């Protein structure tokens, strides 16, 4: 081994010297712990004052004093002691008060009691849950459906189950708060595109494509999703689904569709926006909706192919670790589905009423209507803002109070101002249901006209 090259021996010699030096040098700590005496520590502890747990809320904050509804929130509603016609609850098909739904829930209450006392994994799965999942899957013509016990948690648990850190999600600006929370929890890259602007979305997709070509290995494992709503809650219009499908296949992106408002409203038989546009439902990867609007129950569901839905049974946060839906609510939802399947003409009636109301509301000076003509949840925004959001909110409140005093119950659309990504302007929410008669629609319109004339000029 003396034939080894000279540099090799020299290198080894240096290394051995270095090791000897390290062994004998003094060790030192990387972080200097402070040398405070115990007495100084005590003083610091004494002096420290924390902030109050929550900042105080001013007494006249508009969101602090809720309207109290006595009695059921159905077509005729008693708000703060006054009887009004309900234009504020999302009871589109009028199923909240339906006798058949109530008796189905009663029967279930007699059989199962109220609560389920457990999550789905631990004796919380009832046959009504399984039945409801089958019925929903059959109704929507998909392979499988999964039920959540809370509407807000549905999309907010579904998105993080598939999209993780490093994945890319393209989402519309006007997406509702539950979607925003799901996106935050998923920790993915969020790219917002302008509301319903397909050109903007295509631009973002093209940019992503050029990025991918620079790093093809990473691109092969980065999942991509588009999240849109069928009928947007914040703006009342629909997403252009056919163009989205084209973009999907061109750029290989998966689509998640949130149909809380459009389920039970759009389409020939209420199947939502896919039926409205005549699109094959297998083209959409995941449809999520909550049962709290048209189905007049509580909870939410996701439906799609088994390949996709089955994954949520183990990794959907709101599914695995929360108590399951109370069986009486599941039975109410099944009965509501029965009614929807047996009477397909209520969807036509609802659409006709929406069109009528939309047209009638056009002529109000000072307020503009935001939303499609067939959307049952419209927004009335001020044509000219007063200057600040607070003043706008106060002005709209006066309009709402005027209407409530004369027998029409309306509400302002509520948002968490500091937390929304793209805060919509303040507005009054007008909800059209199948139970409202033509006279009531006319009365509402004329009251709004009067209120606008007297308060907004």
* 75, 77, 230, 351: residue in contact with another protein (rule CB under 8 A): 77
* 134, 197, 209, 282: residue in contact with another protein (rule CB under 8 A): 282
The rounded distance, in Å, linking the Cα atoms of 4 and 183 is: 61
Q: How far is the CB of 21 from another protein (least distance, A)?
A: 32
Q: What are phi and psi of 224, to 5 degrees?
A: -125, 140
Residues near 289 by Cβ (< 8 Å), separated by ≥ 6?
154, 258, 259, 260, 262, 263, 272, 300, 301, 302
CA distance to 25, 304, 313, 330, 429, per residue, from 133 (Å): 70, 11, 13, 10, 32
The rounded distance, in Å, linking the Cα atoms of 170 and 190 is: 6
* 100, 305, 356, 449: residue in contact with another protein (rule CB under 8 A): 305
Helices 99-112 and 327-342, interaxial angle, to 10°? 150
Q: Is 216 in the site for another protein (CB under 8 A)?
A: no
Q: Is 407 in the site for another protein (CB under 8 A)?
A: no
Q: How far is the CB of 215 from another protein (least distance, A)?
A: 13
Q: Is 379 in the site for another protein (CB under 8 A)?
A: no
* 292, 392, 435, 440: residue in contact with another protein (rule CB under 8 A): 292
Q: Is 152 in the site for another protein (CB under 8 A)?
A: yes
DSSP-assigned letters across all residues of 40-109 = HHHHHHHH--PPPSS----TT-TTTSPPPEES--SSEEEETTEEEEE-SS--TT-GGG-HHHHHHHHHHH
* 203, 206, 250, 252: residue in contact with another protein (rule CB under 8 A): 252
Decide: 194 and 215 in contact? Cβ < 8 Å.
Answer: no
Q: How far is the CB of 13 from another protein (least distance, A)?
A: 42
231 to 250, contacts with another protein by CB under 8 A? Answer: 249
Q: Considering beta carbons, is residue 41 or 453 the nearer one to another protein? A: 41
Residues near 111 by Cβ (< 8 Å), separated by ≥ 6?
327
Q: Is 393 in the site for another protein (CB under 8 A)?
A: no
Q: Is 307 in the site for another protein (CB under 8 A)?
A: yes
Q: How far is the CB of 242 from another protein (least distance, A)?
A: 16
* 9, 36, 199, 422: residue in contact with another protein (rule CB under 8 A): 36
Q: Which SS3 state, helix, strand or coil, does residue 289 take? A: strand
87 to 146, contacts with another protein by CB under 8 A? Answer: 88-91, 96-97, 101-102, 105-106, 109-127, 129-130
Binding pattern for the stretch 309-338 against another protein, x by CB under 8 A and - elsewhere: -xx-xx--xx-xxxx-xx-xx--x------
Q: Is 166 in the site for another protein (CB under 8 A)?
A: no
Q: Is 288 in the site for another protein (CB under 8 A)?
A: no
Sign of the Cα pseudo-torsion (313, 314, 317, 319, in order): positive
Q: Is 72 in the site for another protein (CB under 8 A)?
A: yes
* Structure token digits, residue 404: 């409530």
């Amino acid at each position: 081994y003396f034939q080894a090259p000279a540099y090799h021996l020299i290198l080894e010699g240096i290394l051995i010297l270095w090791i000897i030096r390290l062994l004998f040098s003094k060790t030192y700590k990387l972080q200097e712990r402070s040398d405070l005496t115990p007495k100084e520590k005590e003083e610091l502890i004494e002096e420290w004052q924390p902030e109050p747990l929550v900042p105080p809320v001013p007494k006249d904050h508009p969101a602090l004093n809720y309207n109290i509804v006595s009695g059921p929130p159905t077509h005729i509603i008693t708000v703060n002691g006054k009887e009004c016609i309900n234009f504020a609850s999302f009871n589109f098909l009028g199923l909240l008060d339906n006798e058949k739904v109530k008796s189905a829930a009663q029967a279930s209450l007699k059989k199962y009691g109220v609560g389920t006392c457990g999550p789905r994994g631990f004796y919380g799965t009832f046959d009504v849950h399984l039945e409801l999942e089958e019925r929903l899957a059959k109704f929507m013509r998909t392979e499988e459906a999964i039920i959540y016990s809370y509407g807000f948690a549905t999309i907010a648990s579904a998105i993080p189950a598939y999209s993780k850190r490093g994945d890319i999600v393209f989402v519309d600006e006007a997406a509702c708060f539950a979607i925003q929370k799901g996106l935050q929890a998923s920790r993915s890259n969020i790219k917002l595109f302008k509301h319903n602007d397909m050109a903007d979305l295509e631009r973002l997709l093209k940019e992503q494509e050029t990025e991918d070509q620079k790093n093809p290995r990473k691109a092969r494992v980065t999942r991509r999703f588009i999240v849109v709503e069928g009928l947007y809650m914040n703006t009342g219009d629909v997403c252009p689904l056919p163009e989205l499908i084209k973009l999907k296949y061109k750029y290989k992106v998966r689509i998640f569709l949130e149909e809380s408002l459009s389920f039970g409203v759009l389409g020939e038989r209420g199947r939502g926006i896919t039926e409205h546009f005549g699109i094959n439902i297998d083209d959409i990867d995941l449809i999520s909706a909550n049962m709290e609007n048209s189905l007049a129950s509580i909870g939410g569901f996701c439906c799609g192919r088994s390949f996709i839905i089955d994954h949520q049974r183990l990794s959907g946060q709101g599914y695995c670790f929360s108590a399951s839906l109370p069986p009486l609510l599941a039975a109410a939802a099944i009965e509501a589905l029965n009614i929807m399947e047996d009477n397909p003409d209520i969807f036509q009636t609802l659409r006709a009423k929406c069109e009528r109301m939309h047209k009638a509301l056009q002529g109000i000076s000072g307020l503009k209507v935001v939303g499609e003509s067939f959307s049952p949840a419209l927004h009335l925004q001020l044509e000219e803002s007063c200057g600040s959001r607070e003043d706008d909110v106060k002005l709209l409140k006066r309009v709402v109070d005027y209407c409530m005093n004369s027998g029409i119950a309306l509400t302002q659309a509520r948002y968490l101002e500091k937390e929304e990504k793209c805060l919509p302007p303040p507005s009054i929410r007008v909800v059209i249901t199948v139970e409202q008669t033509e006279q009531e629609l006319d009365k509402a319109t004329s009251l709004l006209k009067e209120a606008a004339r007297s308060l907004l000029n």
